[in-house]
Amino acid sequence: MTPSPASRFGGFAAGHFVVTALCAPLIFLMPGLLTLAATPLRALLLMAVFYLPAGWIVAALRGWRRPSPKMGLKAVLYPALFAWGWAFGG
């Protein structure tokens, strides 16, 4: 099945909420984990460690095929723009 960008965005949102729900308690229970993301490079690495598997799981559960390069760019760019808008615009 070839999903639309809106469907992929919904999948991103679902995966994001699951990752947040799993990781938020860890931050409160083990405050030392915040020091792992002390630099931008480490934060990027931690995001990759959590979000890539979440994305693979969502794609597998929804039966999505690998996107074309153009669709893959949209699948990454749209959620990133939305997240940045949310973070910087409030």
List of residues 6+ apart from 82 with CB closer than 8 A: 9
What is the C-alpha to C-alpha distance for residues 83 and 86, in angstroms, rounded to an integer? 5
Please report where in the chains the tokens 């030392």 appear, as a residue. 32
- Residue 33 has a pLDDT of 65
Residues of the chain with pLDDT under 50: none
3-state helix, strand, coil in the chain (%, to 5): 85, 0, 15
The pLDDT score that the predictor gives to residue 7 is 78
pLDDT of residue 23: 73
